Amino acid sequence: MRSLPRPTDETLQAYDPGEVFETCVSMVRDKDLKNRLRATRPMVESDAKDYFAKARGADLYQLVGYDPVGMVSGEEMVGVYTLRMVPKKSKGRPIYDRIMTTPAHSRCPMCGIGTVNTLDHYLPKTHYPVYAVAPDNLVAACKWCQGEKSEYFPANKAGQLLHPYFDDFDGEIWLVAEVIVGSPVAFRFFAAPPSHWSGDDQARTASHLKELNLPTLFASNAGSRLAEIRGRLTGLFKLGGKSVVRDHLKEELVSIEADHRNSWVAAMYRAAVASDWFCDGGFIPT
């Protein structure tokens, strides 16, 4: 997971949830619906403040979804997003587009691999309709992560996925991999945070990988990466054997970790460096 700054408006200030909600609601033509939606604005603003406070303490699991929101049904609240923010000609679309640009190079912050192509609701809008257009709940994501996450929401602190806006777990290495001996060689990815982390934080990294099915995605990408570098590694092995291969992998790892120490590719290279079997030609198909 890659940390991101909270979404900001054109003045680089964090979005005002009430203003975002009003922008989307302003284009509603049905007067009764518009009035009922506007009457919920205080609830939207209050709940957004509660969301922010809970998110900072990694306590979003404590939030309880409810339907209706005041005099507005959950379906109508969700419609503020699907009908007033997503459509390209809607008044809320500029906000949608701006949040989509938050990740650098359009790289999905949830997996670090895919290209963002949608906004995902960290707390699903069907269960938490009051956060349907809350900026802090909207995260640019790729199709893989959105599809795997689906309607997931945490039942406890340990089950919370990592939140790009509020969590930064990159101070130390927690994503690791191991070489699976065989032909062709494969890699297995898993969470192994430092033992001094809290039990909940350790569990959250595992939950993040599990609920987004990231070990499968990482293993697939590792296979593709190995296919790309196998020729280079084979040439180095023929030139100087195991030590030359390991030195090359270590050199590559330095720049890879400088970009992101908990990326799948960093974990892959660390595993390869640590494996005598791999460096001794295990990457060559038999």
116: left (phi over 0), alpha (psi -120 to 50) or beta: beta
Q: How far apart are CA 179 and CA 209, in angstroms?
A: 18
pLDDT digits (tens, 9 = 90+) for 179-213: 999 999 999 999 999 999 999 999 999 999 999 99
Do residues 113 and 264 make contact, with C-beta atoms less than 8 angstroms apart?
Answer: yes
Domain that holds residue 234: 175-282
Question: Do 28 and 94 reside in the same domain of the chain?
Answer: yes
In a domain, 212, yes or no: yes
Polymer length of the chain: 286
Q: What is the pLDDT at residue 63?
A: 97
Question: Do 73 and 181 reside in the same domain of the chain?
Answer: no
Question: Do 23 and 149 reside in the same domain of the chain?
Answer: yes
The continuous run of DSSP H or E covering 186 comes out as strand 186-191
Question: Do 147 and 184 reside in the same domain of the chain?
Answer: no
Question: Do 87 and 204 reside in the same domain of the chain?
Answer: no
- Domain count for the chain: 2
Signed CA dihedral, 124, 114, 9, 259: sign only: positive
Q: What is the pLDDT at residue 270?
A: 98
Last residue of a domain, one of 155, 189, 209: 155
Question: Do 190 and 133 reside in the same domain of the chain?
Answer: no
Q: What is the pLDDT at residue 286?
A: 84
DSSP character for 137? G
Question: Do 104 and 201 reside in the same domain of the chain?
Answer: no
Question: Do 138 and 193 reside in the same domain of the chain?
Answer: no
Do residues 157 and 200 make contact, with C-beta atoms less than 8 angstroms apart?
Answer: yes
In a domain, 169, yes or no: no
Within its chain, how far is the Cα of 83 from the centroid?
A: 25
Q: Which residues of the chain have pLDDT under 70?
A: none
Question: Do 151 and 187 reside in the same domain of the chain?
Answer: no
Structure tokens at 197: 């982390």
Question: Do 25 and 64 reside in the same domain of the chain?
Answer: yes
Question: Do 60 and 136 reside in the same domain of the chain?
Answer: yes
Last residue of a domain, one of 155, 188, 204: 155
Q: What is the pLDDT at residue 1?
A: 87
pLDDT digits (tens, 9 = 90+) for 242-274: 999 999 999 999 999 999 999 999 999 999 999
Q: How far apart are CA 23 and CA 179, in angstroms?
A: 52
In a domain, 161, yes or no: no
Cα within 13 Å of Cα(105), Cβ side: 7
Question: Do 141 and 183 reside in the same domain of the chain?
Answer: no
In a domain, 182, yes or no: yes
In a domain, 118, yes or no: yes
